[in-house]
Structure 1
Amino acid sequence: MCGVVGIRRFDGAPVDPELLAEMGRRLHHRGPDAHGVWCSGSVGFAHTRLSIIDLEGSAQPMAGAGEHTHIAFNGEILNYRELRAQLDYPFTTSGDTEVLLAVYQRYGAAGVARLRGQFAYAIHDARTGETHLFRDRLGILPLYYWATDRVFAFASEIKALLPVLDSPRVDTASLHDFLAHRSVPAPYTFLTGVRKVPQGHHLVVRADGTLRIEPFWTLPSAQETLRVAPREAVGLLDDALRASVRDALVADVPVGAYLSGGVDSSLICALVAKQRNGEGLHTFSAAFGDERVDETQWARLAAGIVGSDHHETIITPENFRDDWARLSWHRDAPLSEPADIAVFRLAELARAHVKVVLSGEGSDELFAGYPKYRYARATRAAGALPSGALRRLEQSLPARGAKLSIALRAISEPSYAERMRGWFAPFSSHERARLLGGPPHRSVLEPYRDGTGDTLRRMLYADVHTWLADNLLERGDRMSMAASLELRPPFLDHRVAELAFRLPSSVKVRGGVTKWIVKELARQHLPAGLIDRPKVGFKVPLDTWFRGGLREMAFDLLIGPSSFVGSTFDAAAVRRLLDAHAAGTRDEQPRIWTLLSLEVWHRELRANTGA
């Protein structure tokens, strides 16, 4: 992966190369191997490089043949060798960056449809006067922009845009979004005027300052569902995932894999081992010193099966205190999950051995891996239930009823879209309005309304466009890049994603078993005990930590005199959350985490910008 930035002025003034260089320096962690700047009048790009392919060549920003086009590219085009063989172009390098310039010269902006991989890149075309920005189909890699009538700027991370912002301000409308999603859905961000290019979109900037943004890819519709038998579906997934893993191993540097001991990462590692004939695989896992969420025995079992050189790290409460602030700076937003910090520590461990790592991210959202998917139909039907009574029941539950609390908050929401969103929401719509003194001024519910087909398919569609894109993939990118490590998720090859949405829901949740099709494929490589055990996920034992070593920090940050959360939200409601959790009468750790993350991020923003 790399870091890209760019500026385009509409007032005729030249771009300042030192300003571009300063923006690029803020992305040094994304590309510590090389830096570059290109300027031509009112347009300029900068680039920081993490060298993965064509290590000695492919310096960026790169000019195309004839010097009419220039590119700044972040990502990996995994089919670049195939594309190169099809193109009549005067290549001077052996990497994938120049292939993008050749594809653009041959096919124009529509050439993006021919790419496989993960990417966020900009091409300026001096002949048309247009600047094109592209973000990959699933949103694996980030791309942000800011526009006024005088200037357009883009970057891989928001921090690189700060030198060109007039005065960074928190977008208060995003606070509602954050309390509902643990992140801010595209195209919005936490900063007023800063936008993210949505997954699978193409943005065109013209010389007169006008912008046009449109999707270049969408998931298959419900009408494209295949009529296949369950065993045939498993075979189709096997073919698609093998092809994706084969592509994901394209690199001129060592490639390793995360291995939690769960089904997804274990299956990916098994397929890598098959591809490599069991040679040279490093795997990495993390533990938390709490037997309730400890999966290390399963990770070791899987490592033994695939024959990997396995490495482990232990995450402690001290890691949270030490890393929280600086990782909030890396995330450019509140850490959405406690696992963010654990993912960084895991990336740090992996970077000591490899430069690229594969993960199992995306399987749950494509193939229905979470427990909530069993209740997709009930989520739609729950509108007939009395929401007030459900809320009162939820509020009466003790700490041991935390899982039931999540379900009751979700099904008590007033609309079908809100109920789908409610399964992952730390706070219900009723609670958000109380905390912030009123309802939201805008809606970001489109992904929950735009899905088609049966109830499970609609829930998966929403999660791919929100939870996956704006939370999990954003976390994966920022935490791996904080360690200068490239992350590749083979489940999110667009061919696998398209297959997932063409397969019937009956092979995803089957006989009450979630992610049935993935588990059936995994049975060809892994023991039943690993596949059929209860799902744990990458959980951090914050319920205990917030009653112990992190308790004092939580109270100080959330109800202290300088607290952003305490002054912006209903302070009495925040205090009740803290007191109930500390007393052990309620398990409020997901909500306390959400508020604490917001507070820590805001303090970092204020320290770095004065906002």
Structure 2
Amino acid sequence: MRRFDGIPVDPELLAEMGRCLRHRGPDDEGLWCAGPVGFTHSRLSIIDPGGSAQPMAGSNGTTHISFNGEILNYRELRRELAYPFTTRGDTEVLLAVYEAHGPAGVRSLRGQFAYALHDYRTNETHLFRDRLGIAPLYYYRSDTLFAFASEIKALLPVIDSPRVDTASLHDFLAHRSVPAPYTFIDGVRKVPQGHHLVVRADGTVHIEPFWQLPTAGEVLDIPPGDAVALLDDALRSAVRDALVSDVPVGAYLSGGVDSSLLCALATELRPDAELHTFTAGFGDARVDETSWARRAADLVGSTHHETLVTPEDFQRDWARLSWHRDSPLSEPADVAVYHLARLAGEHVKVVLSGEGSDELFAGYPKYRFARTTRVPGLPRSPLRHLETRLGAAQARLTVALRAISEPTYAERMRGWFAPFTSAEREQLLGGPPERTVLAPYRDGRGDALRRMLYADTHTWLADNLLERGDRMSMAASVELRPPFLDHRVAELAFRMPSHLKIRNGTTKWVVKELARRHFPADLVDRSKVGFKVPLDEWFRGHLREPAFDLLTGPSSFVGAVFDRAMVRRLLAAHDSGERDEQSRLWTLLSLEVWHRELRRRVELPDLPADATAANVP
């Protein structure tokens, strides 16, 4: 925290903020105050567990740091720096890098990180967030203070009257999350991925990127065989770095290509170390991949563990995990990831995960239709008529029709993951959005696939999957490491031509070719299931009554703010089996559950009787 009004930072207030993050660091805590500046820290001890207490001071007494994450090349950097080290950890390396190179030293780091560093010499406070946005970093600025934290809940003690940012309702209905720099809490912002923020004594804030993905002009003409070899080298280096730890490291293993490949590389790089792997099942044969995970575990020789997630788990944990997420749960898999992390936490403190591979190397089915998305939007009326005639079994075709009917190229790209079309969002909320968050969909360059991957890396990945992975894992006090998001792998991905990602109709071709070196064809080539939960049946069974009550009851936030008749039609169509509306119902229910939990924990203004998106608290 930093104050601009001449009042010293209140250590009690700082301690209250720190207590909100105790789950992120149950091993140790620390607090430092010096007049108008103060840091607090909750530590999950992974590197140098017996030392490296934070906040930490630099050797010359002119710098202080609070750091979340891991610098995976800290040993290499340590050998290069002339600095009087007193610890064996990576936190002190950050101080040494800053003293040697200033803010530009962040470019030498490999890993996942969010850290704040105060420099007495310039009287500036610097915030850094890693290149792909693996580690979270939020801030709040008023006329008198600037506060920052790894989670939004830690900022609420400094906000006099927290309010929902109603402009984010449109964003959430389009993304299932809120794109950077915005959040669901008015005035709270995210530091975007790969950015450096500077706070000065006069209260001014300056923010700029220190890293960006390679441009379209940097794409290389790589033969297919060379591309596979380059990916092998880059991913091996990333996994080797991700295994850097002074505590045990495990891995999530779904039996899909990405997690299986990471586990194969991990066991090759550490042949004498036991690897614990973890998977979740749902008791539904349509989406259960536990048999594939067991087979992959047998092939790599890991010690495998499983957990079963039930509808009762969802009902019990939904509200609490919404609080941990600091926003509505974007997908049902959020709850499953938490249970997976809790299982992992019984054996390890760090887990490897396959996040990022789909967005970098084109793993989703929609990427096959990237060029179609560039075609000018087709008339909405006939497509809407066709869409209404599709039954629940044609849910994927329904998604495609909604996406290609959007009026602009940017909206059509966004539409593939959007629960509601732009027209439906306006109908639900009674008007158009107050702001645009379409920059990632407009800023990409190159062919259609590359543009779609660029957009998804900056939105779906950063603001949805990585937030989910961090919050649900940290709710169980476990650190998540995604080797595919090592920046060297990401840079290689964006230097590869699109025809090496989708080849002869095969998505994620280059990754699958590498996986063939370790696994049989049936595991590599099986249809992608993803981390799905059988909500379609649950909403007609165990979760039916809660869904109707939450969305249409007299105290419903969604019922008061959104078009109630439209919400009722969605519920009725799904309940009858006429349509599969699980994704849209989940989006609305998640918003309702989150808002109720926020009101329970934080004093919000009462909901007005004539509530609309323009005046909700």
Whether the 8 Å CA contact 2:24–2:44 is kept in 1: the answer is yes
**Residues in 2 aligned to 1:29 and 1:163: alpha-carbon distance in whole angstroms:** 17
Deviations 1:239-272 (A, max 9, x none): 0000000000000000000000000000000000
Name which of 254, 265, 268 aligns with 1:271.
265
Name which of 259, 275, 281 aligns with 2:253.
259
**Residues in 1 aligned to 2:519 and 2:271: alpha-carbon distance in whole angstroms:** 16
What is the aligned partner in structure 2 of residue 153 from structure 1? 147
Q: Which runs of 5+ in 2 are unaligned?
A: 605-617
Deviations 1:87-115 (A, max 9, x none): 00111101000000000000000000000
What is the aligned partner in structure 2 of residue 305 from structure 1? 299
What is the aligned partner in structure 1 of residue 601 from structure 2? 608
Whether the 8 Å CA contact 1:388–1:412 is kept in 2: the answer is no
What is the aligned partner in structure 1 of residue 331 from structure 2? 337
**Residues in 2 aligned to 1:573 and 1:340: alpha-carbon distance in whole angstroms:** 26
**Residues in 2 aligned to 1:11 and 1:277: alpha-carbon distance in whole angstroms:** 57
Name which of 529, 532, 536 aligns with 1:539.
532
**Residues in 1 aligned to 2:299 and 2:194: alpha-carbon distance in whole angstroms:** 37
Q: Secondary structure at the match of 2:88?
A: coil
Name which of 356, 371, 388 aligns with 2:350.
356
What is the aligned partner in structure 1 of residue 441 from structure 2? 448
In the TM superposition, what are the counterparts of 1:173-188 in structure 2 within 5 Å?
173-188=167-182
Whether the 8 Å CA contact 1:278–1:307 is kept in 2: the answer is no
2:405 pairs with 1:412 = yes
One-letter amino acid matched to 1:172: T
What is the aligned partner in structure 2 of residue 11 from structure 1? 5
Q: Secondary structure at the match of 1:539?
A: coil
2:583 pairs with 1:583 = no
What is the aligned partner in structure 1 of residue 612 from structure 2? none
What is the aligned partner in structure 1 of residue 613 from structure 2? none
Name which of 208, 216, 221 aligns with 2:210.
216
Whether the 8 Å CA contact 1:158–1:332 is kept in 2: the answer is yes
What is the aligned partner in structure 1 of residue 283 from structure 2? 289
In the TM superposition, what are the counterparts of 1:524-535 in structure 2 within 5 Å?
524-535=517-528
One-letter amino acid matched to 1:214: E
What is the aligned partner in structure 2 of residue 402 from structure 1? 395
What is the aligned partner in structure 2 of residue 328 from structure 1? 322
How far off its partner does 1:126 sit?
0.6
How far off its partner does 1:66 sit?
1.6
What is the aligned partner in structure 1 of residue 590 from structure 2? 597
How far off its partner does 1:389 sit?
1.4
Deviations 1:449-491 (A, max 9, x none): 0000000000000000000000000000000000000000000
Whether the 8 Å CA contact 2:376–2:408 is kept in 1: the answer is no
Q: Secondary structure at the match of 1:592?
A: helix
2:310 pairs with 1:316 = yes
2:476 pairs with 1:490 = no
**Residues in 2 aligned to 1:21 and 1:67: alpha-carbon distance in whole angstroms:** 23
In the TM superposition, what are the counterparts of 1:47-196 in structure 2 within 5 Å?
47-196=41-190
What is the aligned partner in structure 1 of residue 239 from structure 2? 245
**Residues in 1 aligned to 2:592 and 2:524: alpha-carbon distance in whole angstroms:** 39
Q: Secondary structure at the match of 2:316?
A: helix
In the TM superposition, what are the counterparts of 1:458-469 in structure 2 within 5 Å?
458-469=451-462
How far off its partner does 1:278 sit?
5.6
Whether the 8 Å CA contact 1:269–1:306 is kept in 2: the answer is yes
Q: Secondary structure at the match of 2:38?
A: strand
Q: Secondary structure at the match of 1:591?
A: helix
One-letter amino acid matched to 2:245: A
What is the aligned partner in structure 1 of residue 199 from structure 2? 205
Deviations 1:70-95 (A, max 9, x none): 00000000000010000001111010
One-letter amino acid matched to 1:505: S
What is the aligned partner in structure 1 of residue 608 from structure 2? none
**Residues in 2 aligned to 1:211 and 1:284: alpha-carbon distance in whole angstroms:** 43
Whether the 8 Å CA contact 2:376–2:407 is kept in 1: the answer is no
Deviations 1:532-574 (A, max 9, x none): 0100000000000000000000000000000000000000000
What is the aligned partner in structure 1 of residue 614 from structure 2? none
**Residues in 1 aligned to 2:356 and 2:437: alpha-carbon distance in whole angstroms:** 22
What is the aligned partner in structure 2 of residue 438 from structure 1? 431
Name which of 517, 526, 543 aligns with 2:510.
517
Whether the 8 Å CA contact 2:27–2:42 is kept in 1: the answer is yes
What is the percentage of aligned positions where both structures have the same residue?
A: 76
- Greater shift, 274-283 or 330-339, is seen at 274-283
TM-score computed with the length of structure 1 as normaliser: 0.98
How far off its partner does 1:397 sit?
1.3
How far off its partner does 1:388 sit?
2.1
**Residues in 2 aligned to 1:130 and 1:120: alpha-carbon distance in whole angstroms:** 17
Whether the 8 Å CA contact 1:278–1:308 is kept in 2: the answer is no
Deviations 1:256-301 (A, max 9, x none): 0000000000000000010011630000000000000011111011
Query: 1:305–1:425: structure 2 CA closer, same or farther, 3 Å change rule?
Result: same
2:447 pairs with 1:457 = no
Question: Which of structure 1's runs of 4+ aligned residues deviate more than 6 A?
Answer: none
What is the aligned partner in structure 2 of residue 479 from structure 1? 472
Name which of 548, 551, 558 aligns with 1:555.
548
Q: Secondary structure at the match of 2:418?
A: coil
**Residues in 1 aligned to 2:432 and 2:385: alpha-carbon distance in whole angstroms:** 20
**Residues in 2 aligned to 1:479 and 1:231: alpha-carbon distance in whole angstroms:** 38
One-letter amino acid matched to 1:589: Q
Q: Which runs of 5+ in 1 are unaligned?
A: 1-6
How far off its partner does 1:386 sit?
1.8
Name which of 211, 214, 222 aligns with 1:228.
222
Whether the 8 Å CA contact 2:279–2:306 is kept in 1: the answer is yes
What is the aligned partner in structure 2 of residue 37 from structure 1? 31
What is the aligned partner in structure 2 of residue 3 from structure 1? none
What is the aligned partner in structure 2 of residue 4 from structure 1? none
Q: Secondary structure at the match of 2:115?
A: strand
One-letter amino acid matched to 1:167: S
* RMSD (Å), alpha carbons: 0.6
Whether the 8 Å CA contact 2:360–2:453 is kept in 1: the answer is yes
How far off its partner does 1:395 sit?
2.1
**Residues in 1 aligned to 2:512 and 2:135: alpha-carbon distance in whole angstroms:** 28
Whether the 8 Å CA contact 1:320–1:341 is kept in 2: the answer is yes
Whether the 8 Å CA contact 1:205–1:211 is kept in 2: the answer is yes
Q: How many residues were matched structurally?
A: 604
Q: Secondary structure at the match of 1:293?
A: coil
How far off its partner does 1:401 sit?
1.2
Deviations 1:96-146 (A, max 9, x none): 000000000000000000000000000000110000000000000100000
How far off its partner does 1:349 sit?
0.2
2:40 pairs with 1:20 = no
What is the aligned partner in structure 2 of residue 389 from structure 1? 382
Deviations 1:40-84 (A, max 9, x none): 000000000000000100000000012110000000000000100
One-letter amino acid matched to 1:518: V
**Residues in 1 aligned to 2:305 and 2:272: alpha-carbon distance in whole angstroms:** 17
One-letter amino acid matched to 1:289: G
One-letter amino acid matched to 2:459: T
One-letter amino acid matched to 2:21: L
How far off its partner does 1:387 sit?
2.3
Whether the 8 Å CA contact 2:46–2:247 is kept in 1: the answer is yes
Q: Secondary structure at the match of 2:374?
A: helix
